[in-house]
A and B are shown apart, each in its own frame.
Chain A
């Protein structure tokens, strides 16, 4: 049963801190690929991670990692790698020694630990500084060594809490690349971040939490498509927005137009895919020159705004 169980299974889990609710009746299952966990401060992301790591016991409902309750047993942690936002490191150790120490906590022999530590350090791009003390690493390097220590035992589930926090753009790019590669390898990666654009660059699979409740779960674009109350917008940059509007307004599924600023036309539709299908031919038929087409609200930022704003 355990072998077939999903990496993460949460059923009707709630967590109260006295009168305050941290997580409210959340049910979700995650298995394989990269999933972004999003939500404003106080949404319940930290509570969710603490429940997954067995550091909190749900007040109600159940949490299972690979079919086992992490509060009751530490056995799932053989298959879990965790990168905390604030977790300290052994500053006096070199990167290699630190990784070897962590590997040995999983029961590896000395030789296995060294081989594995060297590989994951190379994977995260730290092999050239493996003999340098962790305390002398830059912020980006520290984040990467944390990812390395979470990977040293080749876990099936990797939980990353704000892994991009405080990193320079180069380090972010590198970490995002590592996360994508892990997802491509079939690992289950759960990543939280406040930087929505970066989550978008890593994955389209998202979980949105707000006030402890699960607001949305699934593919970013599919979720956006379900928000009927908020029509999709397509922004066109053109020399003659009014003439183009006259041409397009009569065509289905376009049902509204706006002129947000000079030289721009915004069309509104309930079916984004269908609108994009008819748009090229309609523009060609109109003979009006269009220099840019974009979907300003088909992104995570807008989605989060619509869902959290409750509009």
Chain B
């Protein structure tokens, strides 16, 4: 294919043929030691591909892995800043802190310090609810921050850089694009929020040596908390992606998400303090989820309105977010329509 003539200098094939050294940041100048008679002749040979292109799910998996694997390695995947990765790791480790407490409790034995730790972090309705839906520290410091970091740039980066064009000039439709972005975000959030919840429950059984009776007693409560956790992941993902889709800045999307979560709660709190009416908590996604979570795990509600209100509120918040998301994605790269 290539006939080469006496290449003995330091020039690569690429540089001989196309002058690829031009514009290279790392290019170095060198002085030829002697005039050499050298050169290359290249033939451009295009070889058709004989394989068959994979089905829709394989293409969609490529989008999914691009986003999720990027958390572990940017090589060939989406780029996450090292600080973002570190923060996600810290949030994940912190979400597992009850497991460490249960481990210490198991070392402490019966009575004394071990029993105190076990009582504080052991499995009960309140702790299961708090692992996912407790306001401090999880929904104040951890889950919203995690969502803002993971979801903020998910679509806004494509909008700013125009990289959505890379998808839309390929056999990837907008539903697949949106669904895979959604799934990727939800899986990352789910891994931290839901997986840590499952680890917490499992470790409590293992470390305390609990039997079948305990399992049968607590499993329905665990399932209630699991459902609440999944609902939280879906709701935060919907809101975060919707905000990401209307922005060209991951910072705006992230800050807007935090503003929605904290702002609605703050307004509702102020109204409740001033007018003794808690109805505005319906506007707060966190409080809607907390209310539903309390109902699912069977603990006393902090809210003085019916659970149906919160269910409708969360459904509406999700529906509006998804409607905004799909509407924005459907206009991506579609110019002057």
Decide if B163 touches A90 in the complex (CB within 8 Å).
yes
Q: With A74-B171, A104-B62, A107-B62 as given contacts, are A55 and B46 in contact (CB-CB < 8 Å)?
A: no
Q: Which one of B56, B59, B337 contacts A57 once the chains associate, using CB atoms below 8 Å? A: B337
- Bound: A107/B14 CA distance, A: 30
Q: With A80-B169, A127-B14 as given contacts, are A97 and B75 in contact (CB-CB < 8 Å)?
A: yes
Among B62, B77, B169, the most chain A Cβ lie within 10 Å of the Cβ of: B169
Residues in A with CB closer than 8 Å to B333 are 55
Chain A positions 78 through 111: 1 when the CB is less than 8 Å from some CB of chain B, otherwise 0:
1010101011101011100110111011111100
Q: Which residue of B lies closest to A178 (CB)?
A: B44
Decide if B334 touches A112 in the complex (CB within 8 Å).
no
Among the listed stretches A33-41, A167-175, A204-212, A248-256, which one makes contact with chain B, having 4 or more residues with CB under 8 Å of it? Answer: A167-175
Task: Tell me, rounded to whole Å, the shortest Cβ–Cβ distance linking B14 to chain A.
Answer: 4
Tell me if A196 is interfacial: C-beta within 8 Å of chain B: no
Tell me if A126 is interfacial: C-beta within 8 Å of chain B: yes
- Bound: A108/B54 CA distance, A: 6
Q: Which residue of A lies closest to B14 (CB)?
A: A128
Q: Which residue of A lies closest to B2 (CB)?
A: A122
Residues in A with CB closer than 8 Å to B336 are 17, 56
Residues in B with CB closer than 8 Å to A87 are 162, 165-166, 169
- Bound: A170/B23 CA distance, A: 13
B:34-59 near A, CB below 8 Å: 42, 44-49, 51, 53-56, 58-59
Task: Tell me, rounded to whole Å, the shortest Cβ–Cβ distance linking B246 to chain A.
Answer: 20
Chain A positions 107 through 124: 1 when the CB is less than 8 Å from some CB of chain B, otherwise 0:
111001000100100010
Q: Which one of A53, A74, A154, A168 contacts B48 once the chains associate, using CB atoms below 8 Å? A: A154
- Bound: A91/B42 CA distance, A: 28
Decide if B170 touches A125 in the complex (CB within 8 Å).
no
Residues in A with CB closer than 8 Å to B26 are 136
A: interface residue count bin: 35 or more
Decide if A125 touches B58 in the complex (CB within 8 Å).
no
Decide if A185 touches B48 in the complex (CB within 8 Å).
yes
- Bound: A105/B20 CA distance, A: 28
Chain A positions 180 through 203: 1 when the CB is less than 8 Å from some CB of chain B, otherwise 0:
011001000000000000000000
Task: Tell me, rounded to whole Å, the shortest Cβ–Cβ distance linking B178 to chain A.
Answer: 13
- Bound: A154/B52 CA distance, A: 10
B:1-48 near A, CB below 8 Å: 12-15, 17-20, 22-26, 42, 44-48
Tell me if B74 is interfacial: C-beta within 8 Å of chain A: yes
Tell me if A75 is interfacial: C-beta within 8 Å of chain B: yes
Residues in A with CB closer than 8 Å to B165 are 84, 87-88
Tell me if A60 is interfacial: C-beta within 8 Å of chain B: no
Decide if A123 touches B44 in the complex (CB within 8 Å).
yes
Q: With A55-B335, A174-B17 as given contacts, are A125 and B42 in contact (CB-CB < 8 Å)?
A: yes
Decide if A106 touches B54 in the complex (CB within 8 Å).
yes
Tell me if B113 is interfacial: C-beta within 8 Å of chain A: no
Q: Which residue of A lies closest to B78 (CB)?
A: A90
Residues in A with CB closer than 8 Å to B66 are 101
Tell me if B315 is interfacial: C-beta within 8 Å of chain A: no
B:120-161 near A, CB below 8 Å: 161
Decide if A129 touches B14 in the complex (CB within 8 Å).
yes
Q: Which residue of A lies closest to B77 (CB)?
A: A101
Decide if B163 touches A56 in the complex (CB within 8 Å).
no
A:221-237 near B, CB below 8 Å: none
Q: Which residue of A lies closest to B47 (CB)?
A: A119
Among B42, B55, B336, the most chain A Cβ lie within 10 Å of the Cβ of: B336
Decide if B13 touches A128 in the complex (CB within 8 Å).
yes
Residues in A with CB closer than 8 Å to B169 are 53, 77, 80, 82, 84, 87
Residues in B with CB closer than 8 Å to A153 are 49, 53
- Bound: A224/B256 CA distance, A: 60
Decide if B22 touches A140 in the complex (CB within 8 Å).
yes
Q: Which residue of B lies closest to A75 (CB)?
A: B171
Q: With A107-B55, A112-B51 as given contacts, are A128 and B20 in contact (CB-CB < 8 Å)?
A: yes
Decide if A141 touches B20 in the complex (CB within 8 Å).
yes
Q: With A88-B162, A105-B62, A128-B14 as given contacts, are A170 and B19 in contact (CB-CB < 8 Å)?
A: yes
Tell me if A177 is interfacial: C-beta within 8 Å of chain B: yes
Tell me if B167 is interfacial: C-beta within 8 Å of chain A: yes
Tell me if B173 is interfacial: C-beta within 8 Å of chain A: yes
Chain A positions 140 through 158: 1 when the CB is less than 8 Å from some CB of chain B, otherwise 0:
1100100000010110000
Q: Which one of B45, B49, B55, B75 contacts A154 once the chains associate, using CB atoms below 8 Å? A: B49
Decide if A106 touches B76 in the complex (CB within 8 Å).
no
Tell me if B290 is interfacial: C-beta within 8 Å of chain A: no
Task: Tell me, rounded to whole Å, the shortest Cβ–Cβ distance linking A95 to chain B.
Answer: 11
Q: Which residue of A lies closest to B74 (CB)?
A: A92
Q: Which residue of B lies closest to A93 (CB)?
A: B76
Residues in B with CB closer than 8 Å to A108 are 51, 53-54
- Bound: A140/B334 CA distance, A: 28
Decide if B46 touches A123 in the complex (CB within 8 Å).
yes
- Bound: A109/B170 CA distance, A: 16
Decide if A168 touches B19 in the complex (CB within 8 Å).
yes
Residues in A with CB closer than 8 Å to B44 are 123, 125, 177-178, 181
Among A80, A105, A174, the most chain B Cβ lie within 10 Å of the Cβ of: A105
9 nearest CB pairs, A to B: A107-B54, A138-B23, A128-B14, A154-B49, A97-B76, A104-B62, A82-B169, A107-B58, A77-B171
Contacts beyond the supplied A74-B173, A98-B76: 18 A-B pairs with Cβ under 8 Å:
A17-B336, A53-B168, A55-B168, A55-B333, A56-B334, A77-B171, A86-B162, A87-B169, A92-B79, A105-B172, A119-B47, A123-B46, A128-B12, A139-B23, A140-B20, A141-B18, A144-B18, A178-B44
Chain B residues within CB distance 8 Å of chain A: 12-15, 17-20, 22-26, 42, 44-49, 51, 53-56, 58-59, 62-63, 66, 74-77, 79, 161-163, 165-173, 333-337
